Structure 1
């Protein structure tokens, strides 16, 4: 299996969406009460954080990232 480049933006975005899913899973099971509009700020905030993380990662690594190494 080929190794792939670590992408922290995807990790942040996926974690926020997973947290939203876990909140609503707890609501469905009756463990706690979650308002219906909670998913919107979690999803949008997670996507914004993922974008900022991706931009910061690209700025630190340089424009091309790992793609420059492929020759």
Structure 2
């Protein structure tokens, strides 16, 4: 009986620990390698028919970084 209880507790602890380690790893990875960079943002704006100025791109990048830092 104790073996089953210890096994279930060890499994639950392993799952919880694995989740938090994976979450931390992904947050660090996304901070180092953001999914959208300035070139991608410029391309998207051009595809939407906008003429992107550097000021507008900088504003959008800072907003995205600020939003990411808040989470």
Is this a same-fold pair by TM over 0.5? Answer: no
Higher relative contact order (CA 8 A, sep 6+): 1
Q: TM range, normalised to the smaller chain?
A: 0.3 to 0.5
Which of the two has greater helix per residue?
A: 2
* TM-score, with structure 2 as normaliser: 0.39
Q: Which has the larger radius of gyration?
A: 2
